[in-house]
Amino acid sequence: MTPNVLIVAEVDSGRLSLPTVEAAGVARSLSGPDGKIVGIAGGAGAAGAAIEFGEYGIERAYAIDDPRLDGAPAQAQTAYIAAAASAVGAHLVLLGGSTAGRDLAGRVAVAWKAAAANGVTELAWAGEALRVQRPVFGGRATEARLLRGGRAVVSLRPHAFPAAAVERTTCAVERAPAASVPPALLAPRRTGVEAVPKGTGPALSDAPIVVSGGRGVRTPENFRLIEELAASLGAAVGASRAVTDAGWRPTSLQVGQTGRSVSPQLYIAVGISGAIQHLVGMMSSRVIVAINNDATASIFRVADYGIVGDLFAIVPALTAEIHRVRGI
């Protein structure tokens, strides 16, 4: 079989977003020498972004020429994506691991009559089927599934794959095949974006590094220590529920069962005991570091590296050491 892949671009200020570039890398490693890889981009700046696929060795892309999509939710592209997938004889529609990508997968699967999986960390062909693997139960287990029937729609887990290597080829951009967009999908309107303020670090759910603080920090003022450590690493700040319940920091920072699920490359838990409700939100992190003055704290059972000690001594020393090593 020579698998054909359609990559759905997410356009961010006229450029391909990082999740899309990760998807391009996966497509290139999955598709054999004879397989076709085609990109598709829609919405404002689509044509310019589609050309950019060439930088990742993808020589063909569709741009959706439909001004109604500017400012409309990404889901309004569903019918175009399904039509393009059929036109290229795709076996796989690949979406980046972003909010929009995950949100689009179920829709595209129904429109294109495909099987679907979100948040995939491994994928490989098994004959006509696609075998996908993904963490479930907050990282407490993994499942492998076969997506059968020759049509699969998959979004990737953020940071699970490296970005595609840069390989400057020229991408021929064509107009995407026509499709009819249900008017209901054009009705919702975005009324604003509150951009993540500069200097506050990346968004929690997508950050490659997260530093979280717990009740051990003791006061809202002391929580600054956690924020300084995070800043030294360019990391996002998280918190346990003890912290958000006490109002030391907003609930939007809460990690766990009733907060956010995160799966960064590195998670540093400071003054957090490791209650199961916290663990389910961060256990699928690749490397976990715990700093706690109680050697019997449960967090050390899931951590890869532990420091038993007083956070008020360890954290400032760590922040200083990171500044020194990174030369900042």
Partner 1 sequence: MEIVVCLKPVPDAETRLRPRADGSRLDPEGVKFVLAGYDESAVEQALLLREAIAGSKVHAVSFGPPRWTEEVLRAAIALGCDTATAVESAGEEAGDPIAAAEGLLGAVEGMPHDLVLLGKQAGDDEEGLVPGALAEMLGMPHFGYVVDLHWDGAAQRLRFGRSAEAGQETWESPLPCVIGLQQAWNDPRTAKLPAILKSRRAPIAKVSPPAPSPERAASVPERFALPPPRTGAKMIAYRTPEEAAQQLVRILKEEAKVFP
Ligand X SMILES: Cc1cc2nc3c(=O)[nH]c(=O)nc-3n(C[C@H](O)[C@H](O)[C@H](O)COP(=O)(O)OP(=O)(O)OC[C@H]3O[C@@H](n4cnc5c(N)ncnc54)[C@H](O)[C@@H]3O)c2cc1C
Q: Does 145 bind partner 1 (CB under 8 A)?
A: yes
246 binds, among ligand X, partner 1, none (CB under 5 to 8 A by kind): none
* Pairing mode, strands 5-8 and 92-95: parallel
Q: Which of 31, 240, 263, 285 binds ligand X (CB under 6 A)?
A: 240
Euclidean distance between CA atoms 262 and 281, whole angstroms: 6
Binding part of the chain for ligand X, among 6-14, 100-108, 188-196, 269-277 by CB under 6 A, reads 269-277
For partner 1, the binding residues in 84-113 under the rule CB under 8 A are 98-100, 102-107, 109-111, 113
Euclidean distance between CA atoms 91 and 192, whole angstroms: 36
Euclidean distance between CA atoms 214 and 271, whole angstroms: 5
- Give CA separation, 81 vs 40, 127, 175, 210, 314, in Å: 7, 24, 12, 34, 51
For ligand X, the binding residues in 174-213 under the rule CB under 6 A are none
Count of C-beta atoms within a 10 Å radius of residue 69 = 20
For partner 1, the binding residues in 11-50 under the rule CB under 8 A are 12, 17, 19
Binding part of the chain for ligand X, among 22-30, 31-39, 182-190, 236-244 by CB under 6 A, reads 236-244
Q: Does 221 bind partner 1 (CB under 8 A)?
A: no
Q: Does 133 bind ligand X (CB under 6 A)?
A: no
Cβ distance to partner 1 smaller for residue 93 or 171: 93
Element (H, E) at 131: strand 129-136
Euclidean distance between CA atoms 249 and 221, whole angstroms: 10
Q: Which of 241, 262, 307, 318 binds ligand X (CB under 6 A)?
A: 241
Q: Does 144 bind partner 1 (CB under 8 A)?
A: yes
Residues in contact with 86: Cβ distance below 8 Å, sequence separation at least 6, in sequence order: 112
Interacting residues toward ligand X by CB under 6 A: 214-216, 240-242, 254-259, 271-273, 275, 277-278, 281, 292-294, 297, 310-312
